[in-house]
Amino acid sequence: MRISGLEIIHLRLPLVSPFETSFGAVRETETLLVRAEAEGREGWGECPASAAPSYSSETVHTARYIITEFLAPLLRDADIASPADLPALFRRIRGHNMAKGGVEMALWDLTAKIKNVSLSRLIGGSRSEIPTGVSIGIQPTPDDLLRTIEGALAKGYRRIKLKIKPGWDTAILETVRRRFGAIPLMADANAAYTLEQTDHLMQLDRFDLMMLEQPLDEDDIVDHRLLQEKMKTPLCLDESIKSPEDGRRALDLGSCRIVNIKQARVGGTSRAIRLHDLCRDRGVPVWCGGLLESGVGRLHNIALASLENFTLPGDISASERYYQEDIVDPPVRLTDRGTILVPDGAGIGATIRVDMVERYCVGRSDVL
């Protein structure tokens, strides 16, 4: 397969409500769509790098530059047998996983459409629906948080994830447990703590959490091992795992007992599948995280989460959780069973709403 066209579309999407984590609040999200053409078909991917280098060192601006100046030229004369070839093709470009992932996702969608199969089937997915949870940001008050959790549970979400930070952790978790009892609950720190706060973090053991996600530095594996040795709560690594090799090192060290897989973070679908397989073979459960993606990235995540070892509810919530209108039709919806159906149509299984893309577009360019 030879790629005949590659376009980058920069979107700015308003959120239904502000989303706050330990590194700040956002009221709108910026993302890059990647549209690839070949054999008269088109495929869509997403690079959810955001406007600021907070969760990741990448931004929509750095990703756009890397795709334009370095990744697209590598595709110009390449004969792609499979999107799984891209990590090797892009290997000479160090880092920039989200930029690479956005391009690769577009080619996976394109390939599935050319073959007239669903993306889930193409990558080996085995589920027709996936259980899902919801990620709830830091709220203005504890009462606001309780109301938000109540609303999420009423809609059927199977797991609640709370963003925490110093000053918004033990008391908040105690309030939630007192109000909602033994609901499936986890906490995500987004690297807000240090190893010097181990005694404080050990207090979280009393809340019977499913896991504590990324409490320490975003590039750390060693200190997480030291913390995991002292905590009974399973640690889950997110930001620290940027490749399957990082995953192997973390598991070898005993730095975590659960892994959050985000294909944008690890450099695309192929590397996400390798990480999934590694964890499966080690008996380590995984779940699919999210980055405020539009429906394009969300549908790619759904296909990924249909793989067999995604045994824990992920962060793939319904479109309405973040956006009044999504850019895909149909939007992602939650069933009354607290699950999301895996599309069985060709590719990602939805139509791109060109009108919505045009409404929220702040820049676009043909790069191939």
User: Alpha-carbon distance 114 to 38, whole Å?
Assistant: 9
CB 86 within 8 A of CB 69: no
Q: Which of 161, 165, 242, 262 is catalytic?
A: 262
Beta bridge partners of 35: 7, 44
Nearest-10 crossing angle of helices 142-155, 170-180: 50
Residues 211/235, Cβ–Cβ less than 8 Å: yes
226: left (phi over 0), alpha (psi -120 to 50) or beta: alpha
| Distance in angstroms (rounded) separating the CA atoms of residues 209 and 353 | 39
Known catalytic residue: 163?
yes
Helices (H) and strands (E) in the chain, counts: 14, 15
Q: What single letter denotes the amino acid at residue 146?
A: L
Q: How many CA atoms lie within 13 A of 310 on its CB side?
A: 31
* Contact yes or no for 314/305 (Cβ under 8 A): yes
Separation CA 189–CA 116 (nearest Å): 41
In the set 161, 163, 165, 242, the catalytic residue is 163
Helices 269-282 and 244-253, packing angle to 10 deg = 20
Separation of alpha carbons 252 and 254, rounded Å: 6
Active site residue 262: yes
Taking the C-alpha atoms of residue 186 and residue 163, their distance in angstroms, rounded to an integer, is 9
Task: Please list, residue by residue across 261-281, b when 16 or more beta carbons sit within 10 angstroms of its beta carbon and e when fewer do.
Answer: bbbbbbbbbbbbbbbbebbbe
Torsion sign, CA atoms 310, 312, 315, 320: positive
Kindly list the catalytic residues: 163, 262
